[in-house]
C-alpha cells in the first residue's frame, strides 16, 4: 500500500520497471508471439517503437473518426439486441463483451468475429 505522494513517486518513477512489468505467462506468450506485441510485451525500446506506431496508425484522431460508422452500426445492433430481451433479465456483461469484440474485430480484420 502506497500511503504518501513521496512513496508513490518512488514506486512510479524510480522503480517503475520493477513494479509495472507484466507477468510472463505461457498463454500471454503464445497470444503475443513471444511477447512482441504492445499488450503483453515487456517495456523496452522495441515496445516503445511499437507503441508509437500504434498511436500513429490506430489511435490518431483521423483514424478513430474513420471507424465511426462501424461504432454506430455496432451500437444499433446492441440496442436492438437489448430491446429484443425486454421480457427477460439481461446480462449486460456478455452484451458489452460482444459489442467490444465486434468493433475490435471489424476495425482490425474487416470482419465481425461472429461471422468467423
Q: What is the DSSP letter of 4?
A: S
Range in 8-12, 61-65, 106-110 with the lowest mean pLDDT:
8-12
C-alpha grid cell, residue 17: 520497471
Q: 49 and 73: one domain?
A: no
Q: 89 and 41: one domain?
A: no
Please report where in the chains the cell 467490444 appears, as a residue: 100
How much is the pLDDT for 41? 81
User: Environment class of residue 80 by beta-carbon count within 10 Å: exposed (0-12), middle (13-18) or buried (19+)?
Assistant: exposed
How much is the pLDDT for 95? 92
How much is the pLDDT for 96? 94
Q: How many other CB atoms sit within 10 Å of the CB of residue 68?
A: 9
How much is the pLDDT for 30? 83
Choosing from 61, 84, 104, the residue where a domain stops is 61
Q: 18 and 50: one domain?
A: yes
Q: 50 and 9: one domain?
A: yes
- Answer whether residue 115 shows pLDDT above 80: no
Q: What is the C-alpha to C-alpha distance for residues 88 and 52, in angstroms, rounded to an integer? A: 45
Total of domains in the chain: 2
Q: Is the pTM of this model over 0.85?
A: no
Range in 11-25, 61-75, 98-112 with the lowest mean pLDDT:
11-25
What residues make up the domain containing 102? 67-115
How much is the pLDDT for 20? 67
How much is the pLDDT for 116? 61
Choosing from 15, 30, 61, the residue where a domain stops is 61
- Answer whether residue 73 shows pLDDT above 70: yes
Q: 36 and 16: one domain?
A: yes
Choosing from 61, 82, 100, the residue where a domain stops is 61
Q: 53 and 78: one domain?
A: no
Amino acid at each position: 500500500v502506497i500511503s504518501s505522494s513521496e512513496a508513490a513517486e518512488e514506486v512510479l518513477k524510480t522503480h517503475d520497471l520493477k513494479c509495472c512489468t507484466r507477468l510472463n505467462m505461457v498463454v500471454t506468450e503464445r497470444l503475443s508471439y513471444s511477447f512482441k506485441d504492445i499488450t503483453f510485451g515487456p517495456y523496452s525500446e522495441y515496445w516503445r517503437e511499437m507503441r508509437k506506431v500504434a498511436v500513429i496508425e490506430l489511435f490518431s484522431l483521423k483514424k478513430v473518426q474513420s471507424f465511426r460508422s462501424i461504432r454506430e452500426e455496432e451500437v444499433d445492433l446492441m440496442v436492438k439486441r437489448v430491446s429484443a430481451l425486454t421480457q427477460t433479465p439481461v446480462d449486460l456483461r456478455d452484451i458489452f463483451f460482444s459489442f467490444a469484440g465486434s468493433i475490435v474485430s471489424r476495425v482490425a480484420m474487416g470482419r465481425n468475429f461472429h461471422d468467423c
